C-alpha cells in the first residue's frame, strides 16, 4: 500500500475496452463518484478531493489508459478511446448512476461520455475542460452523438 493512501481504501483492476484499468476506491456504502484525471497525472492526483468526499460518496480514482498502472494504448487508437474506456469501466464495476468529475483531459472524456451515454451519469462535473475536436476522426465520432445530447451538457 502506498504510504499516503488511507489504509481503508482498496485498489484493483478491471478489464474494460480490451485493457486492464487500475483504480483506487474509498470504501463505503454511498453513491458512486468516478474522478477522471488530467494528462499529466494519474488517479491519485484526486487524493485530497477523495478524502473530502469519501464520507458522502464512494470515490473511485481511475488511472486512464497509458497513465499510472493502467495498460498503455496501441498505435491505432483514436483520441476518443478514453470515452469507451470510461463506459467499460463503469459497466465492469456495475456502477449505478455514478457522478462523473473530470479535470482537463479527464473532463473531455467525461463530457463526451455524458453526451454519448446521457442516461448513465447522475451528474457530470467538468474542471478546466478543453471541449474542442482533436482529430477529424474524433470529430466524426462526436458528430454521431445526437445534437440534443451535446447541448444537454451545457
* pLDDT at residue 134, as a whole number: 57
- Using pLDDT thresholds of 50, 70 and 90, give the confidence band for residue 154: very low
pTM, 2 dp: 0.82
Rg (alpha carbons) of the chain, rounded to whole number? 15
Alpha helix segments (H runs only) across 1-131: 47-53, 81-92, 105-116
* pLDDT at residue 50, as a whole number: 97
Alpha helix segments (H runs only) across 24-121: 47-53, 81-92, 105-116
* pLDDT at residue 34, as a whole number: 98
The structural architecture, per CATH, of the domain 10-152 is 3-Layer(aba) Sandwich (3.40)
Q: Edge-to-edge strand order for the sheet containing 99-103?
A: 10-16, 19-25, 58-62, 32-36, 99-103, 123-127
Give pLDDT tens digits for 97-142. 999 999 999 999 999 999 999 999 999 999 998 766 555 665 566 5
Give pLDDT tens digits for 34-86. 999 998 899 999 999 999 999 999 999 999 998 999 998 877 777 679 999 99
In this predicted structure, the answer to whether residue 4 has a pLDDT above a threshold of 90 is no
Residue ranges per structural domain of the chain: 10-152
Amino acid at each position: 500500500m502506498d504510504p499516503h493512501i488511507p489504509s481503508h481504501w482498496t485498489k484493483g483492476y478491471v478489464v474494460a475496452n480490451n485493457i486492464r484499468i487500475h483504480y483506487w476506491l474509498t470504501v463505503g456504502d454511498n453513491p458512486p463518484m468516478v474522478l477522471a484525471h488530467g494528462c499529466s497525472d494519474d488517479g491519485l492526483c484526486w487524493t485530497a478531493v477523495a478524502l473530502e468526499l469519501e464520507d458522502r460518496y464512494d470515490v473511485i480514482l481511475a488511472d486512464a489508459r497509458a497513465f499510472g498502472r493502467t495498460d498503455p494504448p496501441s498505435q491505432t487508437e483514436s483520441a476518443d478511446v478514453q470515452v469507451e474506456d470510461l463506459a467499460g469501466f463503469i459497466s465492469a464495476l456495475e456502477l449505478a448512476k455514478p457522478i462523473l468529475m473530470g479535470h482537463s483531459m479527464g473532463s473531455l472524456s467525461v463530457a463526451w461520455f455524458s453526451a454519448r451515454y446521457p442516461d448513465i451519469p447522475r451528474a457530470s462535473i467538468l474542471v478546466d475542460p478543453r471541449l474542442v475536436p482533436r482529430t477529424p476522426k474524433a470529430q466524426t465520432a462526436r458528430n454521431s452523438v445526437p445534437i440534443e445530447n451535446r447541448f444537454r451538457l451545457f
